[in-house]
Amino acid sequence: MNRDLRKTVIAGNWKMNMLASDVETFASGLTSLISGFKSWCDVVICTPFVNLPAAAEAFKGSDVGVGAQNMSQFESGAYTGEVSTAQLSDVGTEYVIIGHSERRQYFGETDKSVNEKLVACLKSPLVPIVCVGETLSERETGITFDLVAMQVKAALFSVSASDMRRTIIAYEPVWAIGTGKTATPEDAQEVCKAIRKVIEGLYDKATADAVTIQYGGSMNDKNAKELLAQPDIDGGLIGGASLKPDSFAVIVNAANQ
């Protein structure tokens, strides 16, 4: 992290877990455990679409932001089953995850749709969290850096420097997601640094230095401190460990360093 240059952002991704009726208990548990966090990081909880109104209500006045896990690249109209940026903002959503590997893997999202969603998102007030990362076979083939660089460039196609500054990138190695295998802090740092270099190449050093780059993939209450101590890791996107206020609070507090 480098709080002088950019924001630290700790975001939970609940994936397809939790009911609307679970939100209030979670919110009061979490907020009681992370007092003063606003002075060292931003905290976000990304819930399933249907839980967003309950989450916005439960976190009102707490400084914890609410995020969605997906959005439509289209503004409105005949797109059955989709949710627009305006509809997300309307129920109090402030962030949205774009291009999570589970969406790429199971729901046909591509670098092209990720770019379309990012461009649509940047026309709205929502803060995008764009996910990139390699699979195990891609890592073993030795193409991690090239592949992640390509995902970053494709996602950012036609994005201006000022929009880049409000875009969060999440580096999530697919092999580390939900597996209990975490990238070593050094490996995660290396890729996050390389992502910043790609952004510098597309824009300039000042823009690259201002971008928040998160690590995601089995980040938990035990390993968060060491990962967050890396200079180019500016936060986390946390799945399993964001489902319990206690473990998520430890991660938020680990960012206070």
Residues forming the active site: 100, 172
Pick the closer one to ligand 13P by CB: 54 or 132.
132
| DSSP code string of the chain | --TTTS--EEEEE-TT---HHHHHHHHHHHHHH-TTGGGT-EEEEE--GGGHHHHHHHTTTSSEEEEES---SS-SSS-TT---HHHHHHTT--EEEES-HHHHHHS---HHHHHHHHHHHHTSSPEEEEEE---HHHHHTT-HHHHHHHHHHHHTTT--HHHHHT-EEEE--GGGTTSS----HHHHHHHHHHHHHHHHHHS-HHHHHH--EEEESS--TTTHHHHHTSTT--EEEESGGGSSHHHHHHHHHHT--
Residue from the set 27, 66, 191, 237 that interacts with ligand 13P by CB under 6 A: 237
Query: Site size for ligand 13P, by CB under 6 A?
Result: 14
Query: Residue 184 Cβ, how far from ligand 13P at the closest point, in Å?
Result: 15
Nearer Cβ to ligand 13P (235/240): 240
Binding mask 58-97 toward ligand 13P (x if CB under 6 A, else -) reads ----------------------------------------
Q: Which is nearer to ligand 13P, 164 or 251 (CB)?
A: 251
| Phi/psi of residue 99, nearest 5 degrees | 70, 30
Among 240, 249, 250, 255, binds ligand 13P (CB under 6 A): 240
Q: Which residue has tokens 């209450």?
A: 221
**Per CB under 6 A, 238 contacts ligand 13P:** yes
Greatest distance between any 2 Cα atoms in the chain: 48
Please report, as residue ranges, which positions from 92 to 151 form the binding site for ligand 13P (by CB under 6 A).
100
Site for ligand 13P in 154-173 (CB under 6 A): 172
Is 203 or 227 the residue whose CB approaches ligand 13P more closely? 227
CB of 205 to ligand 13P, least distance (A): 28
- Assess contact for 95 and 126: CB atoms under 8 A: yes
> Which residue in the block uniquely carries the two structure tokens 């002075």?
39
Site for ligand 13P in 202-221 (CB under 6 A): 216-219
Name the minimum Å distance from CB 238 to ligand 13P: 5
φ and ψ of 123, to 5 deg: -85, -5
Phi, psi (degrees; rounded to nearest 5) at 73: -80, -10
Q: Pick between residue 96 and residue 203 the one whose CB is nearest to ligand 13P.
A: 96
Judged by CB under 6 A, which of 126, 130, 177, 227 binds ligand 13P?
A: 177
Q: Which residue is nearest to ligand 13P (CB)?
A: 239
Name the minimum Å distance from CB 100 to ligand 13P. Answer: 6
Kindly tell me which residue out of 8, 13, 167, 223 binds ligand 13P, with binding defined by CB under 6 A. 13
Give the footprint of ligand 13P on this chain (CB under 6 A): 13, 100, 172, 177-178, 216-219, 237-241
